[in-house]
Chains A and B, each alone.
Chain A
Amino acid sequence: MTDEQDLGTLIRDALPAHPAPRALQDWALAQARAQSASPESAAEGAILARPGRTTRNAGRWLYAAGLVAAAALGFSGQQLAGVRTRANRERTELVSQLVDTHVRSLLAEHLTDVLSTDQHTVKPWFAGKTPFAPTVVELSSLGFPLVGGRLDYVQGHEVATLVYGRRKHFINLFVWPSNATTGESNDAFAEAYHGFTLRHWASGGMQFWAVSDAAASEVEAFQHAYTTTP
């Protein structure tokens, strides 16, 4: 230690970062979630217990975001350009359903059926509910904290949905076995649909669709994080 040392290095070495405790993270996620609820529940207070503390009224910023999303959906339906082939049409139908489901999950305060940031809680939750088990990976160190899981129905089939957070956005990752729905593909590609970003890929006999209103680059980063994390 007699060597000359950089003061900044010494200081950084002496001052570790303090990650927020799990309880605080869960509470903050629940707060953000509560604010995506309907105006009625926001008006009623959407009161959530703080960890070991008092309760507070939640605001409603995400509600406004939901309204914007709903307005965007008003333009959905069948008025999509470039629908030429049957495959295209099927895929467009699938994309539209996935975006509908994504928006509904944010609006209806039904983001998750199982709310947990623990992959070992979320994965077993799907067992017995779906005939297939989605791979649940922990990506919070990469900036995509796991929020929970949910069951959805897309084109009449059960779909396992994993919910991850990204800044103030959510990413719904829809997973189902290949050959279950129409409009499937084994290619990886990205789609933009009325302000939403979708990324599709197939792996291990499963179809994956990530849907979010986060920036396209972030959804791409999410796909990379999910597919490269063992």
Chain B
Amino acid sequence: MLPHLDAAYTLARYLTRNTVDADDAVQEGVLRALRYQHTLRSDADARAWLLAIVRRQCYDLRGTWHARAEVVSYEDAPPLTLVDHGESADVAMQRKQVRAHVQSAIDTLSDHLRETLILREVQQCSYEEIAMITEVPLGTVMSRLSRARARVAERLRGIVDVGDLS
């Protein structure tokens, strides 16, 4: 279970958007996981199981989120200047700006869409794992994922050419 601590903390950071609540959620999750470890059938499920527990803790802490959340609004993202390939001296800066736009686009997603996207893209969870962690049917996972991607892509339209939307 301990090797999944980083994954748990990453998820908690994105769900709570602050370090204090993320810490709380992971600690509470670890205690529960240790207490109920004997109910775990196979080691292969350990990561998804811990993530599911920590996610629930994050939502339990929801009441305290908004006061502390470090939300970057879409408008706060620095403006992006597109340049031609010929004058790509500022590639690093560009990359940073794109990253800020993607981050703010993801920030505007609803909790359900955001967590599904994070579990898939950051944690590389399978659809089945995401269904287990977020406690919804497989079909819901897929539709949330496609809606999340479509919304992020929509936000980025005109800023970045997003090719593959699938």
Contacts and interface: CB of A to CB of B under 8 A. Distances in A.
Interface of A: 1-8, 10-15, 17-21, 24-25, 27-29, 31-32, 35, 50-51, 53, 56, 58-59, 61, 64, 143, 145, 165-168
B140 interface: no
Contacts of A58: 31, 34
23 contacts: A1-B91, A2-B82, A4-B163, A5-B160, A5-B162, A5-B163, A6-B164, A7-B152, A7-B165, A10-B98, A11-B121, A11-B122, A12-B122, A14-B99, A15-B14, A15-B103, A28-B27, A29-B2, A35-B34, A51-B23, A166-B3, A167-B2, A168-B46
B9 A31 contact: no
A165 B13 CA distance: 24
Contacts, number: 135
B34 A11 contact: no
A167 B1 contact: yes
Contact of B43 (A14, A15, A28, A167): A167
Interface of B is mostly: helix
9 A-B pairs with the lowest CB-CB distances in the bound complex, closest first: A4-B163, A14-B102, A20-B9, A59-B35, A18-B13, A61-B37, A20-B5, A14-B99, A18-B10
Given A21-B23, A31-B34, A14 B161 contact: no
Nearest to A17: B10
Nearest to A15: B122
Contacts of A31: 30-31, 34
Contacts of B163: 4-7
A167 B46 contact: yes
A45 to B, nearest CB: 13
A20 B118 contact: no
B26 interface: yes
A83 to B, nearest CB: 34
Contact of A53 (B8, B27, B152): B27
Contact of A165 (B2, B24, B117, B156): B2
Interface string B71-96: 00000000000101100000100110
B157 to A, nearest CB: 11
A7 B98 contact: no
